[in-house]
Amino acid sequence: MVRLRPVALTAAVLVAAAALSGCAPTVGDSGAAPLTDRQRASIRTTILDAKWSQVAAEYPEAIRPKVTMAPTVPDHDWPAAMVACLKSEGIVAYIANGAPTYGSAGQTPLEVAVRYYGCEGAHPSESQVASYFTPAQSAALYNYYLQVVRPCLLTAGAPSPASPDRSAAEGLAGLAGWNPYQVIWTSSMSTPTLTYLQRRCPPTPSWLNLAP
């Protein structure tokens, strides 16, 4: 795992965020989507079935709810997405040690388990989805990072670490934890600036989303 110390963002990023917000073009995907509709549906079903099996094993009487998947969440943003979803379901939730922590606000353990399943199923993390990729699909995600996200961040004046050797694209584990956003995510960047950058330079490609 590559460990990088938090760094202060350059003034250029802050100036860009203030001057370009609302008018800068958003960088999107390029080329054909590496995931077919059938592959997307297969990954979606596999993830939801695996999550529900954990609930059903403990609560056989539980009724499985329908889950509508939201866009795939970068690993860095997943705890916050889960906490927001759980709170919207009336569950007590907060982030502790980088992970979502939750508990009952008067619901039964079964109700909490079902609602957690709904939130977890609706907000798959990037690494969870990517764990089902073929080597070619992993390489496509690597190329998105390398050819789309990193140049976009550098153009915006944001720091972005150089990538590992291209041969590492054979599998995400081989990337040694590299992500174009890793310096930004470990910095003290303000929320408005981070939001601006993630809109301008989406950290995950749209083809990673599993919604039908």
pLDDT at 178: 84
Average pLDDT by stretches of 10, the chain with 212 residues: 40 45 52 86 97 97 96 94 96 93 93 96 95 90 93 96 71 65 92 95 95 84
Q: State whether residue 26 is helix, strand or coil.
A: coil
pTM value? 0.81
Which residues fall within 8 angstroms of residue 201, CB to CB, at 6 or more apart?
26, 27, 148, 149, 152, 153, 156, 158, 180
Give φ, ψ of 51 to 5 degrees: -70, -40
Q: What whole-number distance in Å separates Cα of residue 27 and Cα of residue 17?
A: 15
Taking the CB of residue 91, how many other CB atoms lie within 10 A of it? 22
Look at residue 167 in the predicted model and tell me its pLDDT.
64
Residue 182, beta-bridge partner list: none
What residue type is assigned to position 173 of the chain?
Answer: A
